[in-house]
């Protein structure tokens, strides 16, 4: 995927290869989006059955078997996945990112757009689908535990998943695109992944409040407003999109395009 | 550590400028062409064309627009939905919370936020007059999927109890004022006031039957109240339902217009602030280090 150019010969060979390949390959995007959606549909089916069957009383053995087991598995898997992804993207970084050929740069821009779209799909499932789902479950079923069936999916699965994808996209941009690697730190892109990321640590406030303050699940309670504050940072996609489109325009207008 | 070895150091600056207008580039009354994305500095060198021919260039530029538009829709959906459900959600979730006082007061005020920011982004940078409708459609997609798949599908509440508030007429009004006036100040004053005023009439056709009075075991209540009593929500008991409170009862049937006008007034102020929030998050600046 990446061009690791230790020598000018390697760079020249890579550029020759780059010129032949299509710029936009939709297959990784399709696989990434479909994998997330199919996975969450399966999760939703699991919730449907085991939420009512084993998710009502956290003191029962069934709860430990069918819900806490998921928590114990997903947390280390997410941490390992995060470290592996960051490590891979760093290890395979372009060490001469300032001198990427225009065609290869545009290809990487499309790879970044794919990262952002998969991030958007993950954001939808986490911030919209599973968060409002948490509302109906917790307003219906009495909570007796911080780790409820909806929380085990929402907080500890869907939020880490979009964080991992978001950090992955940011790392990709920082290590492979001159616009994001050489001009400094994009304020908008930092806000775009740090803001939604902070929703996850904010879970600590939420659980503290529901444990020591009040148990009712009034959704508009001030206890929940820090989630809102960090949700606002999703709007930083505006700045990121302007930076990406700006660079596409620069590439398109930087030199004459052959008619045929 | 991440930084490469540039042959030409690029300055830390904005690559895209906002269009000129009143309030320092925040929109203009006269029709002014929006600044093209990337029209400002060429701070990073372009050494040749990436395209084989014009057909490929046309396809790829359109593909980039499409990918970004879908991403924008889903990310704005997520951000707007989490904002909406945690600032006005209870009034939107349940029919017995859709009252004459708090529902028409709270919803427009907290929901004009993202549309104002999106109008800034789409209008100032692309001259596209659909920022509010774009946000509201995203929110409604997220809400309708949830009400069917989760409220009805998982916890078995009837859709008549949990339908989301209709918001499209309000958003269309806001966008139309922006399109016709070309002025964010006029949009703020006229559009945001209309945004507040239109909530109740937009929802009245579906809401009216639920506000009919009925008698149950000697008590007078609305049909919406009865549905709420029948479907007990154990972690959100009746004593925290925030409806029909306050001295506005003094005015009897006229509480909705008063609530709507107040809501429209505050929506104007919120629109003003969130126009600048949109500007803040549309930044194309770079930091030297974090």
Measure in Å the smallest separation between the Cα of B141 and chain A Cα atoms.
Answer: 10
Count H helices and E strands in chain B, helices first: 12, 3
Mean pLDDT in chain A?
91
C-alpha B228/C-alpha B220 separation (Å) is 14
**Cβ–Cβ contact A152 with B under 8 A:** no
- Please give the pLDDT value at position A68: 97
- Please give the pLDDT value at position B248: 55
Measure in Å the smallest separation between the Cα of A152 and chain B Cα atoms.
Answer: 16
Q: A151 or B32: whose pLDDT is higher?
A: A151
- HSE (side-chain half, CA atoms, 13 Å) at B268: 15
- Please give the pLDDT value at position A2: 43
Is residue A230 one of the residues assigned to a domain?
yes
C-alpha A113/C-alpha A109 separation (Å) is 6
Nearest CB to A99: which of B7, B53, B155? B7
Question: What is the token pair recorded at B242?
Answer: 């925030």
C-alpha B155/C-alpha A138 separation (Å) is 10
Q: Which fold has domain B54-243+252-282?
A: particulate methane monooxygenase, chain B (1.20.1450)
Reference B88, options B279, B277, B270, B252; nearest CA is: B270
Measure in Å the smallest separation between the Cα of A215 and chain B Cα atoms.
Answer: 7
Residues B19-29 have a mean pLDDT of 40
Is residue A43 one of the residues assigned to a domain?
yes
Nearest CB to A97: which of B4, B49, B86? B4
C-alpha B283/C-alpha A251 separation (Å) is 21
Residue A49 has pLDDT above 80, yes or no: yes
Is residue A15 one of the residues assigned to a domain?
no
Residue A86: phi and psi, rounded to 5, are: -60, -45
Residue A39: phi and psi, rounded to 5, are: -60, -45
- Please give the pLDDT value at position B252: 62
Identify the DSSP state of B166: P
Is residue A25 one of the residues assigned to a domain?
no
Reported in sequence order, the residue ranges of chain B that DSSP labels E, i.e. its strands, are 213-216, 219-222, 286-287
- Please give the pLDDT value at position A16: 63
Residues 6+ apart with CB under 8 A from B174: B112, B115, B119, B132, B187, B191, B192, B194, B195
Reference B196, options B106, B91, B84; nearest CA is: B106
Residue B54 — pLDDT band, cuts 50, 70, 90?
confident
C-alpha A108/C-alpha A242 separation (Å) is 16
| Residue B65 CB coordination number (10 Å) | 15
- Please give the pLDDT value at position B44: 66
Residue A221 has pLDDT above 90, yes or no: yes
- Please give the pLDDT value at position B247: 64
Residue B144 has pLDDT above 90, yes or no: yes
Residues A50-71 have a mean pLDDT of 96
Residue B129 has pLDDT above 60, yes or no: yes
Residue B32 — pLDDT band, cuts 50, 70, 90?
very low
Residue B77 has pLDDT above 90, yes or no: yes
**Cβ–Cβ contact A121 with B under 8 A:** yes
ipTM (interface pTM) = 0.92
| Residue A24 CB coordination number (10 Å) | 18
Domain ranges of chain B: 54-243+252-282
Q: With an 8 Å Cβ cutoff, are A117 and B71 in contact?
A: yes
- Please give the pLDDT value at position B254: 78
Nearest CB to B75: which of A95, A123, A136? A123
Length of chain B: 290
Name which of A129, A246, A247, A258 to mutate to probe chain B: the one with the most chain B Cβ atoms within 10 A of its Cβ: A246
From chain B, pick out residues whose CB is under 8 angstroms from the CB of A46: none
Burial of A254 (0-12, 13-18, 19+ CB in 10 A): middle
Whole-prediction pTM value? 0.89
In chain A, the number of structural domains is: 1
Is residue A9 one of the residues assigned to a domain?
no
For the residues of B206-228, what is the DSSP string, one character each?
Answer: HHGGGG-EEEETTEEEEHHHHHH
From chain A, pick out residues whose CB is under 8 angstroms from the CB of B281: 188, 191, 232-233, 235-236, 238-239
Nearest CB to B68: which of A106, A231, A244? A244
- Please give the pLDDT value at position B18: 42
- Please give the pLDDT value at position A11: 59
Q: What is the pLDDT of residues A101-141, one digit of tens each?
A: 999 999 999 999 999 999 999 999 999 999 999 999 999 99
Radius of gyration of chain A (CA): 22
Nearest CB to B49: which of A102, A187, A247? A102
From chain B, pick out residues whose CB is under 8 angstroms from the CB of A103: 50-51
Residues B242-247 have a mean pLDDT of 81
Q: Angle at CA B135, nearest 5°, toward B92 and A44?
A: 60
Which three-class secondary structure state does DSSP give residue B64? Answer: helix
Length of chain A: 260
- Please give the pLDDT value at position A136: 95
C-alpha B61/C-alpha B65 separation (Å) is 6
Residue B20 — pLDDT band, cuts 50, 70, 90?
very low
Q: With an 8 Å Cβ cutoff, are A132 and B142 in contact?
A: yes
CB B67 within 8 A of CB A114: yes
Is residue A259 one of the residues assigned to a domain?
no
- Please give the pLDDT value at position B193: 98
Identify the DSSP state of A220: T
Residue A253 — pLDDT band, cuts 50, 70, 90?
confident
- Tell the residue number behind the tokens 């925290």, with chain if given: B240
Residue B21 — pLDDT band, cuts 50, 70, 90?
very low
Residue B170 has pLDDT above 60, yes or no: yes
Q: B39 or A210: whose pLDDT is higher?
A: A210
C-alpha A231/C-alpha A216 separation (Å) is 23
- Please give the pLDDT value at position A257: 79
Measure in Å the smallest separation between the Cα of A252 and chain B Cα atoms.
Answer: 7
C-alpha B163/C-alpha B94 separation (Å) is 7
Residues B1-16 have a mean pLDDT of 43
Residue A183 has pLDDT above 50, yes or no: yes
In chain A, the N- to C-terminal Cα span, in Å, equals 28
- Please give the pLDDT value at position B3: 44
Measure in Å the smallest separation between the Cα of A80 and chain B Cα atoms.
Answer: 22
For the residues of B242-282, what is the DSSP string, one character each?
Answer: --S-SGGGGGGGGHHHHHHHHHHHHHHHHHHHHHHHHHHHT
- CATH number for the domain spanning A106: value is 1.20.1050.50
pLDDT above 70 covers a percentage of chain A that reads: 93
From chain A, pick out residues whose CB is under 8 angstroms from the CB of B60: 23-24, 106, 110
- Please give the pLDDT value at position B84: 98
Residues B167-173 have a mean pLDDT of 98
Q: With an 8 Å Cβ cutoff, are A248 and B282 in contact?
A: no
Q: What is the pLDDT of residues B197-217, one digit of tens each?
A: 999 999 999 999 999 999 999
Measure in Å the smallest separation between the Cα of A77 and chain B Cα atoms.
Answer: 25
- Please give the pLDDT value at position A15: 62
Mean pLDDT in chain B?
86
- Please give the pLDDT value at position A14: 63
Residue B222: phi and psi, rounded to 5, are: -90, 165
**Cβ–Cβ contact A188 with B under 8 A:** yes
Is residue A42 one of the residues assigned to a domain?
yes
Is residue A13 one of the residues assigned to a domain?
no
pLDDT above 90 covers a percentage of chain A that reads: 79
Residues B55-83 have a mean pLDDT of 95
Residue B22: phi and psi, rounded to 5, are: -70, 160
Q: With an 8 Å Cβ cutoff, are A185 and B76 in contact?
A: no
- Please give the pLDDT value at position A172: 97
**Cβ–Cβ contact A6 with B under 8 A:** no
Residues 6+ apart with CB under 8 A from A26: A114
């Amino acid at each position: 995927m990446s061009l690791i150019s230790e020598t000018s010969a390697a760079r020249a060979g890579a550029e020759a290869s780059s010129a032949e390949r299509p710029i936009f390959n939709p297959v990784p995007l399709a696989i990434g989006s479909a994998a997330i959606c199919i996975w969450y549909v399966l999760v939703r089916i699991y919730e449907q059955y085991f939420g009512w069957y084993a998710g009502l009383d956290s003191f029962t053995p069934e709860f430990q078997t069918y819900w806490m087991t998921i928590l114990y598995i997903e947390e280390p898997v997410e941490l390992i996945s995060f470290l592996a992804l960051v490590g891979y993207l760093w290890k395979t970084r372009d060490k001469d990112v300032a001198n990427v050929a225009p065609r290869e740069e545009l290809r990487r821009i499309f790879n970044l757009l794919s990262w952002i779209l998969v991030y958007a799909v993950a954001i939808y499932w986490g911030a919209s689908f599973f968060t409002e789902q948490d509302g109906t479950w917790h307003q219906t079923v009495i909570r007796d535990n911080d780790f409820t069936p909806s929380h085990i999916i929402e907080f500890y699965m869907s939020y880490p998943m979009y964080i991992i994808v978001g950090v992955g996209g940011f790392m990709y941009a920082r290590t492979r695109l001159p616009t994001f690697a050489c001009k400094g730190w994009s304020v908008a892109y930092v806000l775009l992944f740090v803001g939604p990321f902070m929703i996850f640590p904010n879970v600590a406030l939420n659980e503290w409040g529901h444990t020591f303050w009040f148990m009712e699940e009034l959704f508009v309670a001030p206890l929940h407003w820090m989630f809102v504050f960090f949700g606002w940072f999703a709007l930083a996609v505006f700045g990121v999109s302007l930076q990406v489109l700006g660079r596409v325009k620069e590439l398109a207008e930087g030199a004459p395009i052959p008619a045929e | 550590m991440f930084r490469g070895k540039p042959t030409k150091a690029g300055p830390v600056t904005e690559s895209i400028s906002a269009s000129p207008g009143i309030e320092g580039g925040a929109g203009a009354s006269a029709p002014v062409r929006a600044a093209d994305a990337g029209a400002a500095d060429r701070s990073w060198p372009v050494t040749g064309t990436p395209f084989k021919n014009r057909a490929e260039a046309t396809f790829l530029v359109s593909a980039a627009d499409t990918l970004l538009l879908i991403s924008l829709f889903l990310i704005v959906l997520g951000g707007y939905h989490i904002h909406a459900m945690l600032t006005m959600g209870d009034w939107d979730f349940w029919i017995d919370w859709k009252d004459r006082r708090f529902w028409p007061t709270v919803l427009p005020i907290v929901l004009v936020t993202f549309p104002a920011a999106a109008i800034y982004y789409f209008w100032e940078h692309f001259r596209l007059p659909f920022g509010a409708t774009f946000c509201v459609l995203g929110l409604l997609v997220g809400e309708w999927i949830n009400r069917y798949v989760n409220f009805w599908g998982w916890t078995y509440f009837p859709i008549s109890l949990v339908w989301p508030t209709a918001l499209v007429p309000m958003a269309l009004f806001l966008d139309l004022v922006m399109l016709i006036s070309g002025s964010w100040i006029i949009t703020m004053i006229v559009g945001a006031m209309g945004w507040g005023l239109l909530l109740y009439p937009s929802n009245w056709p579906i809401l009216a039957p639920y506000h009919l009075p009925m008698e149950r075991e000697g008590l007078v209540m609305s049909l919406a109240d009865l549905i709420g009593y029948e479907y007990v929500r154990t972690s959100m008991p009746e004593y925290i339902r925030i409806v029909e409170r306050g001295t506005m009862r003094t005015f009897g049937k006229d509480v909705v217009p008063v609530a709507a006008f107040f809501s429209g007034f505050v929506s104007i102020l919120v629109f003003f602030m969130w126009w600048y929030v949109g500007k803040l998050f549309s930044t194309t600046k770079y930091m030297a280090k974090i």
